[in-house]
Amino acid sequence: MRTMKVADYVLQRLREWDVEHVFAYPGDGINGLLAAWGRAKDAPRFVQARHEEMAAFEAVGYAKFSGRTGVCAATSGPGAIHLLNGLYDAKLDHVPVVAIVGQTDRSAMGGSYQQEVDLLSLYKDVASEFCEMVTVPEQLPNVLDRALRIAATRRTVTAVIIPADVQELDHEAPAHAFKQVPSSLGVGRYAPVPADEELQRAAEILNSGERPAILVGQGARQARAEVEQVAEVLGAGVAKALLGKDALPDTLPYVTGSIGLLGTRPSYEMMRDCDTLLVIGSSFPYTQFLPEFGQARAVQIDIDPTMVGLRYPFELNIVGDAAETLRRLLPLLWRGTGTGPGATASRPAPNAGGRSWSGGPAWPPTRSTPNTWPTSWTGCCRRTRSSRRTPVRRPTGTPGTCGCVTACAVRSPEPWRRWARGCRT
């Protein structure tokens, strides 16, 4: 059997991990890998960007839209430096991306050499969960397996640095021996769930409110059906942080839209007036748009124990996968009354009278709320609950908001005519 070089083995292992695309840019720090790509008939596929930063962004976009781990590659020195901005984008948005970068030959290291940059130091922060350099062939597949596995399970950026001369060495698999570290493929699907008593506590809080509000982020995207059911059972409105904008459609009557400086009026009013708050899979940082301290009893559900409990004085922080947690929570919730969408006839809570709606403005505030329409000029001057969507900054691939954004920016028809039409209906 012909021995393969380290570079060939790297590509083979990527194929074994079902990596189909590597977004990359060439350079002599990865000449070994490039030659291996030729021998491998371009599998995985080498997708050539114009700039390494774009290669990293392409890996991020690939990962964000596919749910898979993105892989990018660049040469030593300037190539590796260029990847950084895209990698930080992945890290800060919790997206799994692996960077494979070249390095000068081991013999030249420390020689202030051409394109020699201290990559272990440079990548130490962005790839803080895993950043390793391969110096002998027997470190593979372990180093690469860990990079891929940690990126996927910790939803973060990892880096594998391979000096150019190491890429050309014959690959030797780790042996069944001391100080050799074999490794294995894959990791089984898993989803953390909170303990039963935490679910009971969450239900008690959420059942106690009359005006519940929900905030979802990207962590709720895989739990869309469960979020809808919880919102309907509670009679809650749902606001969406930017990364969660596609978690639920704006066409649902209880979805108030985006939140914050670039958010909607209904979201603002919901957070201003709610008495219970459930945050699912979001680390929305602008606390000034969440309820006043002490106004609402709040629960947070997040999969990441290092991120839960931030941003707001939550009464209860639960660590768990959104869908699995909400599925277990639903049977413990009971339907509220009220005039908002999704409300039905009440049934008594386990240890209290039925939740009743005290009247006043309908809940949650949305465009379908009956008292949205101003009935007079004074009604117009008071606050209303229109749900015009405000354009989203630096959006990408959000077809639902295209027309809104361009219509708002290109001169729109005189508002007076539209007001007159509204008065006549």
Partner 1 sequence: MRGSLSGTLATMGPGVPYLIGAKFAYPDRPGIALVGDGAMQMNGMAELITAAKYYPEWSDPRLVVAVLNNHDLNQVTWEMRAMQGAPQFEDSQAIPDVRYADVAALFGLGGVRVERPEDVAPAWRQALAADRPFVIDFRTDPAVPPIPPHATWDQIKASASSVLHGDSDRGDVVRQGLKAKLQDFLPGGAG
Does residue number 46 form part of the binding site for partner 1 (CB under 8 A)?
Answer: no
Contact 271, 178 (CB under 8 A): no
User: Residue 314: left (phi > 0), alpha (psi -120 to 50), or beta?
Assistant: beta
Among 35, 331, 9, which residue's Cα sits nearest to residue 140? 9
State the minimum distance, in angstroms, from the CB of residue 241 to partner 1. 8
Does residue number 406 form part of the binding site for partner 1 (CB under 8 A)?
Answer: yes
Does residue number 369 form part of the binding site for partner 1 (CB under 8 A)?
Answer: no
186 CB-contact burial (10 Å; exposed 0-12 / middle 13-18 / buried 19+): exposed
Does residue number 163 form part of the binding site for partner 1 (CB under 8 A)?
Answer: no
C-beta closer to partner 1: residue 53 or 302 = 53
C-beta closer to partner 1: residue 80 or 233 = 80
C-beta closer to partner 1: residue 339 or 390 = 390
State the minimum distance, in angstroms, from the CB of residue 340 to partner 1. 18
Report the residue from 28, 93, 165, 275 that binds partner 1 according to the rule CB under 8 A: 93
State the minimum distance, in angstroms, from the CB of residue 23 to partner 1. 7
Rg of the chain on CA atoms, in Å: 26
Does residue number 21 form part of the binding site for partner 1 (CB under 8 A)?
Answer: yes
Does residue number 307 form part of the binding site for partner 1 (CB under 8 A)?
Answer: no
Contact 83, 52 (CB under 8 A): yes
Does residue number 274 form part of the binding site for partner 1 (CB under 8 A)?
Answer: no
Length of the chain: 425
State the minimum distance, in angstroms, from the CB of residue 266 to partner 1. 8
Contact 306, 297 (CB under 8 A): no
Q: Name all contacts of 317-321 with Cβ < 8 Å and 24+ positions apart.
A: 318/194, 318/198, 318/199, 318/202, 319/192, 319/194, 320/191, 320/192, 320/193, 320/194, 321/191, 321/192, 321/193, 321/223
Does residue number 61 form part of the binding site for partner 1 (CB under 8 A)?
Answer: yes
Residue 203 main-chain phi, psi, to 5 deg: -60, -40
Contact 62, 122 (CB under 8 A): no
Interface with partner 1 by CB under 8 A: which range of 105-113, 177-185, 303-311, 378-386? 378-386
Does residue number 66 form part of the binding site for partner 1 (CB under 8 A)?
Answer: yes
DSSP state of 367: T
Q: How far apart are CA 388 and CA 82, in angstroms?
A: 40
Report the residue from 115, 264, 300, 369 that binds partner 1 according to the rule CB under 8 A: 264
Report the residue from 64, 171, 297, 328 that binds partner 1 according to the rule CB under 8 A: 64
DSSP of 85-150, one letter per residue? HHHHHHHHTT--EEEEEEE--GGGTTS--TT---HHHHTTTTTTT-EEE--SGGGTTHHHHHHHHH
Does residue number 418 form part of the binding site for partner 1 (CB under 8 A)?
Answer: yes
Residues within window 190-219 making contact with partner 1, judged by CB under 8 A: 218
C-beta closer to partner 1: residue 276 or 387 = 387
- The token pair that represents 85 in the structure block: 């901005």
State the minimum distance, in angstroms, from the CB of residue 404 to partner 1. 7
Q: How far apart are CA 213 and CA 290, in angstroms?
A: 10
Does residue number 301 form part of the binding site for partner 1 (CB under 8 A)?
Answer: no
Does residue number 75 form part of the binding site for partner 1 (CB under 8 A)?
Answer: no
Report the residue from 243, 296, 299, 308 that binds partner 1 according to the rule CB under 8 A: 243
Interface with partner 1 by CB under 8 A: which range of 141-149, 175-183, 273-281, 402-410? 402-410
State the minimum distance, in angstroms, from the CB of residue 406 to partner 1. 5
Interface with partner 1 by CB under 8 A: which range of 131-139, 150-158, 259-267, 314-322? 259-267
C-beta closer to partner 1: residue 308 or 316 = 308
b/e 148-181 (16+ beta carbons within 10 angstroms → b): bbbbbebbbbbbbbbbbbbbebebeebeeeeeee
Does residue number 70 form part of the binding site for partner 1 (CB under 8 A)?
Answer: yes
Does residue number 246 form part of the binding site for partner 1 (CB under 8 A)?
Answer: yes
Interface with partner 1 by CB under 8 A: which range of 27-35, 59-67, 100-108, 181-189? 59-67
Interface with partner 1 by CB under 8 A: which range of 99-107, 140-148, 236-244, 295-303? 236-244
Does residue number 295 form part of the binding site for partner 1 (CB under 8 A)?
Answer: no
The residue type at 31:
N
Q: How far apart are CA 241 and CA 218, in angstroms?
A: 8
Report the residue from 86, 219, 235, 237 that binds partner 1 according to the rule CB under 8 A: 86
